């Protein structure tokens, strides 16, 4: 084999090695990101409609900092009911120390006496569930509701109640399937 043929062979081998190396590195980086930074979860049910719908797949942060109003979160708070799914996707309405009240005749949710502006909901909140009077969110907890208020089992239901922050798996970043980013508290 001539010197020129050896250089060409080494050049092709080097190029193939470079491509395989870049591909393998990218695969490892994506795998590590999804192990330590992001998670994917499937939405079950229509309680978050119109923001999210059943069979949507979302990407969420693997760690979650300070909860705040409007965050769409995934929780895994255990309950004793076989009716409630193990994983819930809901919107944070109030955080520790805040008081939630709901006027079911007007369909308006109040936090600390202020009516919430909720353009993301499917309709006003008329379904009472087990909610009977204003409640103050205990320390280390959040009050969550689905965007499809009259078809959502959420913190208004005694089986769910307040969600302990330690059971929040992460905040939804965007919808993976069908693809869409969260814009103005809605997944586009």
Q: Which residues are catalytic?
A: 47, 90
The closest alpha carbon to 147, from 95, 182, 112, belongs to 182
- The runs of H, that is alpha helices, within 37-82 are none
C-alpha 173: how far from its chain's center?
A: 7
Q: Is 151 helix (H, G, I), strand (E, B) or coil?
A: helix
Token pair recorded at residue 107? 């369909």
Tally of CB atoms within 10 A around 140: 13
Q: How big is the CA angle at 31 (ends 23 and 67), to the nearest 5 degrees?
A: 140
User: Cα separation of 169 and 179, whole Å?
Assistant: 21
């Amino acid at each position: 084999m001539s010197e020129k043929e050896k250089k060409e062979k080494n050049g092709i081998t080097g190029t193939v090695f470079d491509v395989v190396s870049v591909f393998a590195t990218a695969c490892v980086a994506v795998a590590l990101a999804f192990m330590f930074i992001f998670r994917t979860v499937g939405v079950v049910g229509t309680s978050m409609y119109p923001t999210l719908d059943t069979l949507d797949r979302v990407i969420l942060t693997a760690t979650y900092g300070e909860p705040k109003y409007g965050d769409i979160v995934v929780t895994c708070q255990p309950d004793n009911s076989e009716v409630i799914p193990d994983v819930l996707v809901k919107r944070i309405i109030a955080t520790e120390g805040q008081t939630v009240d709901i006027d079911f005749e007007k369909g308006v949710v109040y936090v600390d006496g202020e009516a919430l502006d909720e353009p993301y909901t499917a309709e006003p909140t008329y379904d009472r569930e087990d909610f009977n009077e204003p409640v103050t969110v205990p320390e280390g907890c959040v009050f969550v509701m689905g965007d499809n208020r009259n078809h959502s089992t959420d913190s208004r239901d005694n089986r769910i109640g307040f969600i302990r922050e330690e059971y929040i798996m992460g905040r939804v970043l965007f919808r993976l399937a069908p693809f869409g980013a969260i814009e103005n508290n809605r997944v586009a």
